[in-house]
Amino acid sequence: AEGFLLQSEKLSIVGELAAGVAHEIRNPLTTIKGFVQLYKAENSSIVYNDLLLSELERIETITSELLSLGKPQAVQLNRANLRELIEKTLELLSPEALMKDIQFIQKFEEAAFFITCEKNQLKQVFLNVLKNAMEAMPDGGEITIELRKGAEGNCVISFQDQGCGIPEELLPRLGEPFYTLKEKGTGLGLMICKKIIKQHHGSITYQSKEKEGTLVEIKLPMVK
């Protein structure tokens, strides 16, 4: 049949291809970086070295993000307390938040919500979403993180920021590979989030108003 692919199929093909390419690039990159560092140590007067190194680091960031899309390495699903996962992620980001004058406001429903998940992958989703929120607020402000019971046996985690927002016409493009509005962005964060949340049978949605902020809602099925 002619090439009719679902968006999800496209994503998984792109993901596999990208991870494969990233894997091939990674090893020579590590070697080159090592030599540039060595060279820099021995010839400290050479200005271009810093440029070289920072460009190499950029390739490194992109390849490691692509690699994390990679072949599903035997996903270990475990029962986890969602609140704990969120709290750990917030802890990880708290030094950066402090530096950027950003406060995390936590509004967690009292009940404990348990889900079945790959903990590290879910933490990566929360990290990506929170990093985007922080990057949207260069002058600081509040990010409100809410955890509550939703409909149909789901729990809902929402992240509301007070950042620059996203123009309405661009909302449908979120999660497309390499779609970024940032000078130093990779446009891979949300694509990875979408993929992980889908693997966990959940959903992720964006609502945004320019110059007011963005609301990200993640829904995940609860377990007993």
Per the CB < 8 A criterion, the answer to whether 209 and 162 are in contact is no
Q: Does 22 bind ligand ADP (CB under 6 A)?
A: no
- Tell me the closest approach of the beta carbon of residue 222 to Mg ion, in angstroms: 27
Binding site for Mg ion (CB under 5 A): 132, 189
Q: Stretches 47-55, 83-91, 113-121, 163-171: which one binds ligand ADP (CB under 6 A)?
A: 163-171
Single residue of 180, 199, 203, 207 touching ligand ADP by CB under 6 A: 180
Q: Stretches 50-58, 92-100, 107-115, 176-184: which one binds ligand ADP (CB under 6 A)?
A: 176-184
Per the CB < 8 A criterion, the answer to whether 103 and 143 are in contact is yes
DSSP string, 23-74: HHHHHHHHHHHHHHHHHHHH-TT-THHHHHHHHHHHHHHHHHHHHTTSS---
Nearest to 184 by CA among 67, 65, 12, 47: 65
- Report the partner that residue 93 touches, choosing among Mg ion, ligand ADP, none (CB closer than 5 to 8 A by kind): none
Residue with tokens 């964060």: 189
Tell me whether residue 63 or residue 154 sits nearer to Mg ion (CB atom). 63
Q: How many CB atoms lie within 10 A of CB 26?
A: 16
Please report how many Cα atoms fall inside a 13 Å half-sphere around the Cα of residue 70, on the Cβ side: 15
- Tell me the closest approach of the beta carbon of residue 186 to Mg ion, in angstroms: 7
Q: Does 163 bind ligand ADP (CB under 6 A)?
A: yes
| Tokens, residue 4 | 């009719």
Tell me whether residue 177 or residue 189 sits nearer to Mg ion (CB atom). 189
User: In this structure, which amino acid lies at residue 77?
Assistant: L
- Tell me the closest approach of the beta carbon of residue 103 to Mg ion, in angstroms: 20
Q: How many CB atoms lie within 10 A of CB 38?
A: 10
Q: Which residues, in sequence order, are CB contacts of 91 under 8 Å at separation 6+?
A: none
Residue nearest to Mg ion (CB): 189
Q: How many CB atoms lie within 10 A of CB 14?
A: 17
What backbone phi and psi angles, to 5 degrees, belong to 96?
-65, -40
Tell me whether residue 216 or residue 222 sits nearer to Mg ion (CB atom). 216
Tell me whether residue 34 or residue 138 sits nearer to ligand ADP (CB atom). 138
- Report the partner that residue 179 touches, choosing among Mg ion, ligand ADP, none (CB closer than 5 to 8 A by kind): ligand ADP
User: In this structure, which amino acid lies at residue 52?
Assistant: L
Single residue of 133, 155, 218, 220 touching ligand ADP by CB under 6 A: 133
- Tell me the closest approach of the beta carbon of residue 214 to ligand ADP, in angstroms: 4
Binding site for ligand ADP (CB under 6 A): 128, 132-133, 136, 161, 163-166, 174, 179-182, 185-190, 214
